[in-house]
Structure 1
Amino acid sequence: MKLWPAGPLYQALLAIAAATAVAFGGYFVYRSWFADNPACATGVSKRGPQNECVGVTDGAFFYNNNKLRKIFDLIRDENSSAEKAAQEQNSSPATIALMIPMTSGNPAEQAEQVEQVKGAYLGQYHANHKAFTQPPIRLLLANPGRGYKQWRVVADQLEKATSDDNLRAVVGINISLPETKAAIGHLTRKNIPVVAGPMTADDIANDKDHLHRYPGLARVAPSNSDQADALAFYSKDIKPAETMVIEDSRDGDNYLESLRKRFEKLAEGAPRAPETFISPPDFNDEGYLANTFDQMVPDICTSPAKTIYFAGRPVQLRQFLFELGERSCNKHYTVITGSHAATLTVDEKFTAHWDALTKSKGITLRYAALAHPDAWGDNSTETTGGSKAAFQELTKQLPKAGAKPSDLVDGRIIVTYDAVVTAVKGIRMNAMDKVKMPSLAQVASSWPRLHGEKRVQGASGWICLDQYGNPYNKAVAIVHLDPRKKTAVFDRIAWPRHRAPDADCSILNEE
């Protein structure tokens, strides 16, 4: 019995169906192979709408960023040395992964990426050569793509590395975004310890109301709240009636959200409501906000404001400063903002126009830096909260990474170095007696112990972690941009709790 006709019409329909199947099949093969999975290198493949090379490498692949090539080569060599040292001792190296975006079309971001990789390498080098105990440390380089959009692919690779490569901590996490929040949540739920570096958003953390929101998360940089509290201590003579808030009201940016809240609190009593703007979805885009800021300036001039709290990202800050510099009113303004302002020191569009901050323009830009080389340099007068010796440990090693002291000004080398040093301490505290390789849980359990005598002697200052994994009363370097020296100049250290920590680096009961 014939189930299907065999005439010319049937044959034509069959041919069309076959061609369609081949076309769709070819499309899905093309999409799965060429669009989402052409190998860039072992462990690295093209993903997403921009076909970025994302994944995890030991330094063999530099993510199409030639600026990373030299430092990646150094990391690959150091990894080989760590493996050799472990073999000689009949053991295995422990692995740490630096997870930050390593592809970008923005020159300022590219420069920051290189700095952070250098900081991670110097932390690894210090662990293996200057403070050598067991186990030796390997460093993997994990690129989750621009804006962490491909974080899940990388997170799955890192989870596999916990068994294949003795991965014991992920460090870095340099931008406070919903994607980084999701990545940290996923990694910590998989019991992978995370040490965040330059991340500052208030809500990507554990606290007394959310004890286990991110189990195994530690942070080394002061939060936006701590920065604001330190700025309030430094600027205690500022009158709220002479302030104004300029804020980015774009949704989906944890850094902006927490900065808005803190600056609005500092400006309670200001006579005028905040002036708002909305930045592009990609905060590195220039957009059309220069015109928006130009329209704001007359209202700023007619206000009693002398201090402006700016809750925004660096590109928008640059645009605002340029427009404020063209105002018609003869008033001096101090613009205060968060730590991401450090990007201006490597932003070519800003550094070509330092005159935006000259005396004739009447603008001072001051911000809470994550770290600054003068905070704990030779002229430091602080007796607690950090040490010159710990900072010098980093500066002595800078040539190993092809870095120089001026590269430390924006703080990213320092803070990423400290994140690795913290992760290494958590690993090695548990590699004792018969335990050559601590478990993930043992490493995560170390974070609440890192205070008192067990504090981390960070190059950015003492890192004294509280019971939630947050840095307690961490030193905040207050700086301003100096157009004469064309750099960020250190003003002083300020403390979130308005006093330096005690000599024991103890966590006070402040309930």
Structure 2
Amino acid sequence: MTARGDRIRPPRPTWSKWMVAGGGVLLLAVALVAVFVVVPEIDEAGRRCGAGVEKRGEHAECIGVTDGGYVFSPELTGVQEDIRAENESVAGSGKPYVTIAVMLPMTLAENDILSAEWVRHQLQGAYIAQHRANTTRSWGSLPLIRLVLANPGSRLNHWEPVVDDLVGRVRDERLVAVTGIGLSLDTSRDAMERLSRNQIPVIASHLAADEFSEIPGFMRVSPTSSTYGTAAAEYVRSTAHTATIVQDINPDDLYPETLVEAFTGTFEDDTHHIVGRTEVYDSSLPGIENTFLQMMPNICGNEAEVVYFAGRENHLTAFVAELAQRPCLDRPITVLTGDLALIRPPSPEMRRGLEANVTVLGPGLAHPDAWATEPQAFNPAAIASFQEPHCTDCFRAVFPEERLDDGIAILAHDAVLTVVWAIRGIPRTAPAEVTAKDVLQAKNRLHGELAVPGASGMISFDDRGDPVRKAVPILRVRLDDTPEYVQLSTPTG
């Protein structure tokens, strides 16, 4: 019997227990979906820049591959729109086509080795080659050319996902080659070795280090570091008999050491000598300007007629600026360097150095003035890609505000043209059946009478993929303008 105030509580129905248990399971399921589905999707959406492109690394660079639909940088908007429109025309033509990837850094870090202009000129040159190949019959007609743009980020630091993407496009999009690259770095070598293992040829537009020639399937249209060093030495030997060396010893940069070996090997003999100890600096460390300033007493003490600067162009600017502080201002100094690709007049700091009795000379990549002074060295159809009377689709008409005298657009054009020349000359292969392996086979024939008729000159490849005796322009830095053309030099070695 219960107390008056007590109530009899009926037992809880069995179904309520299941409701509580079911609610717990539902909450757990929601939590798991949130953790394993929603959160990753939100994270992926936060990383996504565009189709095939996502943010990577500490600088959140937009890394990946695009047909031009995603614009990597505002400075590239115009040329990427041109490439996308050309790709859409190719896809809608109903004709057989192949895909060529232009792979190079398109998002740059602060104080990057490269400049935005360098990147833009690379894409402009590649586009002109694509468009002219698709719309003229100068180099055959089929297959048509589609371009994709592959951005591995500053210094190619994120090359792995980009290369993996490109490998997948061999079958899906008939990718037949990769052009571009642009930097002689360990990351460049790693990327090209991965492409090589997947039997994808690489045609570098601007890449100098000789070591890359060991990679199977590699080719380059630019002169090698050895060619630059040899051309500089041969040019100066007639007027100078002593030289001193300034060299970058950054362990990640292969370029300077090759320059030095080629220059000294060509310059030195019984009447030409390297004087003084090599003055070295390490561009991977801070304080480069101070290091250059500390070199000045020895630069003067060596009393060399020529200073050979084996380093990158951005460091050349700093070195020349410090020459204004040297103790021997009364003595003229000539500085020779690896290659000159300045696209603007010298900075005020470099100009002060030039005004201090300093002359700066070096081989260039390519130069439009050579087309007029040495017309016999160039193919008229290749020059027409850049300039011809009344043209509407040549470089001068499409990009009227851009310079050609840095040579970058010319070499980027020639890299794409090399692929076109190879695939359209393959015998007994239908245009719809051309593959990357066909390009690898055809590369062995691009020499002698079948040399590529490039806008930078005829390009005859040796068995390592290097251009043989590639002509290079010798340039002189001017105070208030881009470097002036001096002469065309063809190394004899």
Q: Distance in 2 between matches of 1:71 and 1:470?
A: 29
TM-score, normalization by structure 1? 0.82
Question: What's 2:491 paired with?
Answer: 496
Question: What's 1:452 paired with?
Answer: 448
Q: Distance in 2 between matches of 1:225 and 1:467?
A: 16
1:53-106 CA-partner distances (Å, limit 9, x unpaired): 01000000111x100111111100000111122x1xxx4311001000000145
Question: What's 2:121 paired with?
Answer: 115
Preserved contact between residue 247 and residue 276 of structure 1 (Cα < 8 Å)? yes
Report SS of the residue matched to 1:361.
coil
The aligned runs of 1:277-288 (5 Å cut-off) are 277-280=281-284, 287-288=286-287
Query: Of 163, 166, 173, which aligns to 1:165?
Result: 173
Report SS of the residue matched to 1:390.
helix
| Aligned positions, number | 449
Letter in 1 for 2:406: D
Report SS of the residue matched to 1:300.
helix
The aligned runs of 1:39-118 (5 Å cut-off) are 39-63=48-72, 65-85=73-93, 87=94, 91-104=95-108, 105-106=110-111, 109-118=115-124
Letter in 2 for 1:365: V
The aligned runs of 1:78-477 (5 Å cut-off) are 78-85=86-93, 87=94, 91-104=95-108, 105-106=110-111, 109-131=115-137, 133-206=141-214, 214-240=215-241, 242-266=242-266, 268=268, 269-280=273-284, 287-329=286-328, 330-339=330-339, 341-342=340-341, 344-346=342-344, 350-353=346-349, 355-356=351-352, 358=354, 360-376=355-371, 378=372, 380-381=373-374, 383=376, 385-396=377-388, 397-399=394-396, 401-404=398-401, 407-430=403-426, 434-477=430-473
Percent identity between the aligned chains?
Answer: 34
Letter in 1 for 2:383: F
1:268-316 CA-partner distances (Å, limit 9, x unpaired): 53231101111126xxxxx421111111111111222120010111221
Instruction: Classify 1:102/1:302 alpha carbon distance in 2 versus 1 (closer, same or farther; 3 Å).
Output: same
Shift of 1:436: 2.5
TM-score, normalization by structure 2? 0.85
CA RMSD of aligned residues (A): 2.6
1:302-344 CA-partner distances (Å, limit 9, x unpaired): 22212001011122111110000222311111111112x31x4
The aligned runs of 1:23-38 (5 Å cut-off) are 34=43, 38=47
1:111-131 CA-partner distances (Å, limit 9, x unpaired): 110110101101101110123
Instruction: Classify 1:296/1:336 alpha carbon distance in 2 versus 1 (closer, same or farther; 3 Å).
Output: same
Q: Distance in 1 between matches of 2:37 and 2:397?
A: 47
Q: Distance in 2 between matches of 1:26 and 1:312?
A: 51
1:151-181 CA-partner distances (Å, limit 9, x unpaired): 1110000001111111111001111101101
Of the structure 1 ranges 452-461 and 93-102, higher mean CA displacement relative to structure 2 is found in: 452-461
Instruction: Classify 1:290/1:317 alpha carbon distance in 2 versus 1 (closer, same or farther; 3 Å).
Output: same
Of the structure 1 ranges 229-238 and 330-339, higher mean CA displacement relative to structure 2 is found in: 229-238
Report SS of the residue matched to 2:473.
strand
Q: Distance in 2 between matches of 1:195 and 1:415?
A: 11
Letter in 1 for 2:227: D
Instruction: Classify 1:148/1:297 alpha carbon distance in 2 versus 1 (closer, same or farther; 3 Å).
Output: same
Q: Distance in 2 between matches of 1:412 and 1:248?
A: 23
- 5+ unaligned residues in a row in structure 1: which ranges? 1-21, 207-213, 282-286, 499-511
Q: Distance in 2 between matches of 1:36 and 1:264?
A: 54
Preserved contact between residue 357 and residue 364 of structure 1 (Cα < 8 Å)? no
Shift of 1:28: 12
Of the structure 1 ranges 258-267 and 317-326, higher mean CA displacement relative to structure 2 is found in: 258-267
Q: Distance in 2 between matches of 1:445 and 1:218?
A: 13
Q: Distance in 2 between matches of 1:403 and 1:431?
A: 38
Instruction: Classify 1:29/1:218 alpha carbon distance in 2 versus 1 (closer, same or farther; 3 Å).
Output: farther
Preserved contact between residue 71 and residue 401 of structure 1 (Cα < 8 Å)? no
Preserved contact between residue 385 and residue 395 of structure 2 (Cα < 8 Å)? no
Shift of 1:408: 0.5
Question: What's 1:284 paired with?
Answer: none
Question: What's 2:6 paired with?
Answer: none
Preserved contact between residue 96 and residue 168 of structure 1 (Cα < 8 Å)? yes
Q: Distance in 2 between matches of 1:26 and 1:84?
A: 43
Instruction: Classify 1:389/1:75 alpha carbon distance in 2 versus 1 (closer, same or farther; 3 Å).
Output: closer
Letter in 1 for 2:293: D
Report SS of the residue matched to 1:204.
helix
Instruction: Classify 1:33/1:296 alpha carbon distance in 2 versus 1 (closer, same or farther; 3 Å).
Output: farther
Instruction: Classify 1:275/1:422 alpha carbon distance in 2 versus 1 (closer, same or farther; 3 Å).
Output: same
Letter in 2 for 1:366: L
Report SS of the residue matched to 2:483.
strand
1:183-231 CA-partner distances (Å, limit 9, x unpaired): 111101100111111001010113xxxxxxx222211111011111222
Report SS of the residue matched to 1:187.
helix
Q: Distance in 2 between matches of 1:230 and 1:116?
A: 24
Preserved contact between residue 195 and residue 219 of structure 1 (Cα < 8 Å)? yes
Instruction: Classify 1:236/1:245 alpha carbon distance in 2 versus 1 (closer, same or farther; 3 Å).
Output: same
Instruction: Classify 1:110/1:29 alpha carbon distance in 2 versus 1 (closer, same or farther; 3 Å).
Output: farther
Letter in 2 for 1:279: S
- 5+ unaligned residues in a row in structure 2: which ranges? 1-30, 389-393
